[in-house]
Amino acid sequence: MTAVAPPAAPPAPAPTPRRRRVGAWIAIGVALLMVGGIGGAISAANQWAARDALDPESAGPAGTRALAEVLRSHGVQVEVTRSRTTALEALNGGLATLVLPDAPALSDDALSQLADAADDVVLIGPRSRTLDLLLPGSAAGGFSAGDAVAPACDLAEAARAGAIAPGALYTPGSGVTACYPVDDGHGLLVQDDGDRRISAVDGGVLFTNEHLADDGNAALAANLMGRHPLVVWYVPSAADTDLTDTDPSLGELTPPWVSPVIVLLLVAGVAAAIWRGRRFGPLVAERLPVTVRASETTEGRARLYARARDPLHAADRLRVGTLRRLAGLLGLGAHADAGDIADAAAGRTGWDRAAVRGILLDDIPRSDAELVALSTRLRDLEEAVHAAVRPERSTR
């Protein structure tokens, strides 16, 4: 007996066009989801980066966790508060320094209430509103070039810290001590009212984790914030606001049915794009009812030129074609100047330069006989260039 080989497995069916289309749409959908996810992650990262600025619990470059640890190592208790109510409760417990970043979500009354509850106030990155409110007469005065400057003032804390490279500059009001002068501004403002002190400095440049170790930044921060055993570090946010006259959002201004209608329109638009954008199959070659030979087109155009009695226009057409072919033969490129082509042709063939320029540029035919003669000379010139460039082909 002879063994019978098992029948070969049938070949796998080729994917149908419909399956290919469905797979393509699935791939497009997955790609859109991936792009949306990446965009959302980038947006969230940017939001968190902005949220961590001057945050004493953030270890990022813009955070101030390093400064909080420096203060704790000097025996100063640092309490981080993220609401105005919690900050007021912490300040009422004893001698305390309030570290206050710029808080645009708080009203003037709320800022004054926080400052009045503290024994010392250190403004890190204040805007003009906060400066004028807590240091009357003071205002923002630009930015420094980044070079370290000496204190140049009688403030002991600044003298012990030494030189720093201030960021934002401020102009002092009446009764305010100004240190670290740069042009017309100063990098530190201090106002003492008995045992109470209010100071203003650009903490975003000096006190962040990225720059705390530069120059005398750490010493200045410890000297300004470590005068009392407790530091209450208020971290402002948009949610912690006492403003009641804020502008309404777009969702609050529109009726409740607008958002569902917008979503419905978007879904309808996507569905219409899928419906109208589907492929109808491969292109099909269609036989034309009439085929016009190139020679007939040329003869028809020649008759039109003859009827118009415009030999100069016809000569220009002949010259354009000859110049284009000569440029290719002489290796001058498609954008070569007509004069350069004429000079190159004369040099290659040995013809008189003025005669070649007359054939290709200057001679003006005024009759059909002159046009025919020019056409003959153009053909002779082209044959001469061809023979000079490719002599082996011209002799065959």
Look at 14 and 374; give whichever has higher pLDDT: 374
Instruction: Answer yes or no: are the C-beta atoms of 190 and 179 closer than 8 Å.
Output: yes
Residues contacting 72, CB < 8 A, separation 6+? 78
Write down the mean pLDDT value for the chain.
82
Each residue of 36-49: pLDDT tens digit?
667 555 555 444 44
The rounded percent of the chain whose pLDDT value lies above 90 is 34
Look at 99 and 382; give whichever has higher pLDDT: 99
- Residues 86-122: b if buried by 16+ CB within 10 A, e if exposed: ebbebbeeeebbbbbbbbebbeeebbebbbebbbbbb
Which of 232, 229, 7 has the alpha carbon at shortest distance from 100?
A: 232
Each residue of 173-232: pLDDT tens digit?
999 999 999 988 999 999 998 889 999 999 988 999 999 999 989 999 999 999 999 999
Tell me which residue has tokens 């399956």.
19
3-state secondary structure at position 337: coil
| pTM confidence score | 0.53
| Residue 135 dihedral angles phi and psi, to the nearest 5° | -125, 80
Q: Report the distance separating Cα 254 and Cα 74, nearest Å.
A: 55
Q: Report the distance separating Cα 158 and Cα 188, nearest Å.
A: 9
Q: Report the distance separating Cα 234 and Cα 199, nearest Å.
A: 16
pLDDT score for 219: 93
Tell me which residue has tokens 């199959």.
281
pLDDT exceeds cutoff 60 at 253: yes
What are the C-alpha distances in Å from 65 to residues 185, 291, 330? 29, 82, 74
3-state secondary structure at position 244: coil
pLDDT score for 1: 41
273-278 average pLDDT score: 74
